[in-house]
Amino acid sequence: MKVLVCGGAGYIGGHTVWSLYDKGYDIVVFDNLSTGNLEYLPKNITFIKGDITNKKDLDELFKKHDFDCIMDFAAKIVVPESVIKPLEYFFNNTEGVRLLIEKVVEKNIKNFIFSSTAAVYGQIQSGICDENSFLNPINPYGDSKLAAEKIIQSSAYAYKFNYAILRYFNVAGADSKLRCGLKSNNLSHIVPIMTNSMLNKSIFKIFGDDYNTKDKTCIRDYVHVSDVALAHVKALEYLVNSNKSIIANLGSNDGFSVKQVVDEGLKYHNFKYEYASRRAGDPDKLIASNKIAKEFLKWEPKISLKEMIKSDFSFRKKLKNTESK
């Protein structure tokens, strides 16, 4: 089976490429390398540089290759930036999907897997999201992803293909063999920022100590990137075997407060932290119900928060050693 992985040189896309590779799939990675890194991909796969928003790039790609499935990870993902540059986010995250779906229809591709986000839910009063929770994004990033979901669903109904929409919660960690991990000059997630503080002896900031939680810091659902990658393989198997579409949360069904994450990090390596003002729009609690993924994809996360921290630290240390040579 031949799989096109758009954004496959990025963090989650790259880990999914390795999961597909380990299981023997024929893979083509399509990435504009704006944030991706070729050095973390298997050496003997096909890589094509291009952009999902460039119709000419897509025409050339689909002239040369036929695919059984498309996985789309190509997206802008920084929430604060989306507030400042909403048009860029709608162009990349929404228009890019529309152009890909045109190719799905034109080439009669039957399987499409989309990298979505918990940001489509917005503020959930109970703090626990299932796939039927009200969709009300509170930033342009979430809006752009929800609009893309609607394009996929409406098109699948009209043109008869199957899709899996996978909504991620807080993804962290690195490949256990350190074949890939998160490499970025603009870290925006708690675990890599924390492990970076460990390595560089910088002060880690906890944003907010006035949340309606036991320790007054916000609670989030964390899931290891390798577990998320495996979920994409399971989603592909589900689409092929069931001939049905699915929307599923990818989370642990549990949550940790920021202070709990910090305490877990301190067990592994010493670092300093301080409290700062909470960020606007951050809910007290956001946890995934993963019942659909468990029941239909036969998937649930296996890797602990401790291992997320340990693997990310090891990858960040590897990066630092490589850069110092």
Residues annotated catalytic, as ranges: 141
Cα angle value 170/176/180 (rounded, 5°):
75
Round to whole Å and give the CA distance between 113 and 297. Answer: 13
- Tell which residue, 70, 84, 59, has the closest CA to residue 29: 70
Buried b or exposed e, range 17-26, using 16+ CB within 10 angstroms? bbbbbeeebe
Q: Which residues sit opposite 163 in a β-bridge?
A: 112
- Tell which residue, 150, 124, 153, has the closest CA to residue 137: 124
Would you list the DSSP string of 26-94? EEEEEE--SS--GGGS-TTSEEEE--TT-HHHHHHHHHH---SEEEE------HHHHHH-HHHHHIIII
